Structure 1
Amino acid sequence: MFPVNSKTRPGAHAIRLGRSLLALLLAVVLSGCAAAVVGGAAVVATDRRTAGTMLDDQTLEVKVSDKIYGAPAFAGGDHVKVEVYQGVVLLLGEVTTEEKRVQAGTLASEVPYVKRVVNDLVVDNSATVGQRLDNTWLTTKVNTALVTKNPVSGFDATRIKVVTSRDTVYLMGLVSREEGDAVAEVARNVGGVAKVVKVFSYTD
């Protein structure tokens, strides 16, 4: 896990990070798993990451986001979404120039403990709130399909982190290659999905 600096002065970053870590820690301590609603029913989501790795990933999401939005170039007009799993950073959303797209990837890679950066930012500032809501609904549809279709016998599909942007589905998780291929195939057949990108960490 990350070293803790006891001399860090409290501020907006520290408060936001503290709240995020506390929420995740409580979820891990109280249940060891997370509850999710899929297709109108509650299911129990498990995670192959250790509690320490989950906390580290949550910390990295905050640090990478702060690093990018703390740069003068990202003053406005940009929408950068940061997702982290097993130290792998996924950048999604829209920026206004190619220079910003490249810079965001560079800034993310400079954050300590980042293993790899997948930069899928798009140079475009025309995305609407409605389009982003549509992608949230698509994420729900993919999650539902993974749970109901059970792509691999005995595999808990709620271990997969599904992120959607511009009708492209990104799959994150700690899986075997067989599990990853099967999950991707289910996602490809969900209506509205234009493309599937595997951002897995493999166990084999």
Structure 2
Amino acid sequence: MIRMIPTLAAAGALTALGLPAFAQATANATVDLNIRAGAGPAYEVVGMIPQGEPVEVAGCLDPATWCEVTHDGVTGWASGGYLTAIVETTPVVIYENADAAGITTVTYDPTLPDGTVTLNGAVIAADPSAEGTSLEITDGAITYLNDNPIDPIYLDGEVVLGAGLPETVVLTPIPDSMLAYANINGQQVVVEPDTRRVAYIAR
């Protein structure tokens, strides 16, 4: 069963509306950042941009929460909150500065598939500079997480190390450990219960 929580940036297939040809801009990822098959957290992860590496940006939605990118031969969508571009010699986050960074705005017509449910609410607290946890993540904890998958919960935002999960997300304890885990946007993650921060992402 798929449980959809809070504002899904885009759930279901997105259909382009006559995209014009335009020059691509270049940005950098501030974290290890997922590339997804569509503009939203419910879409499959098809690649990853390592922290600090450049990526070509074809355009972003307005606001620039999701941007169409190409990295290492993989084209898909990445969260604009974790992409920076240079504006007057200073790196700025695309999400807040798409126009100044020369990022083209792309318009789409979202189409929700039958049976898709969207609810209002929780958002992943994006703080990529925060440390995930001071607790030891053992091989046993990772093995348990991989061997005991749970149903995904879809939140607005992207899964990155150090990001905080809202209180609405129920965490599942990992036996013989002070850690817990959850399946967020289709990815199993280890979480420190006290801070609710993502400490490990199973890729």
TM-score band w.r.t. shorter chain? under 0.3
More strand by share: 2
Whose relative contact order is higher, 1 or 2, with alpha carbons under 8 Å and at least 6 apart? 2
More helix by share: 1
